[in-house]
A = this chain, B = another copy of it.
Amino acid sequence: MKIQNYRQVKGKEELPGVVMHVVAGPDEGVPNFVMRVFELEPSGATPFHSHPWEHEVFIVSGKGIVKGEQSETPLSEGDAIYVKPGEKHCFNNAGNDVFRFVCLVPLIDGKMPGSLSSNTTSG
């Protein structure tokens, strides 16, 4: 068993204003899927992109928006989002505080799929 507050786990700035903390991943020897905690500064946004794996997301705090191909939905604490494999999406901070969410992805060939900046298929 490994127990750690996500704030103790060194974050990686994936993009300006977008920090990812991997709290259960290859370092922990997870067999199937990876848990990451994202913090988006008020200016922070992830790219509008798609990839062959799914996301399962839970909003922890703050105000955000998730955009899809033809949708734009406000998000707040307690919202859960399932993004299907191949579906275009992005998450934006839409408030004045940090927008925080948990986002899980499957392991692909035993590794966490690459960073936000290297796996985009568009913008």
Contact = CB atoms under 8 A, between A and B. Distances in A.
A58 B1 contact: no
For chain A, give the interface size range: 35 or more
Contacts of A110: none
Determine how many copies of this chain the complex contains. 2
Which residue, of A23, A35, A60, A82, has the highest number of chain B Cβ atoms within 10 A? A82
A79 B33 contact: no
A80 B1 contact: no
Interface of A: 1-7, 9, 23-24, 28-33, 35, 37, 54, 56, 58, 60, 66, 68, 71, 73, 75, 78-85, 87, 89, 102, 104, 106
Contact of A80 (B5, B66, B85): B5
Which residue, of A3, A66, A84, has the highest number of chain B Cβ atoms within 10 A? A3
Contacts of A54: 30-32
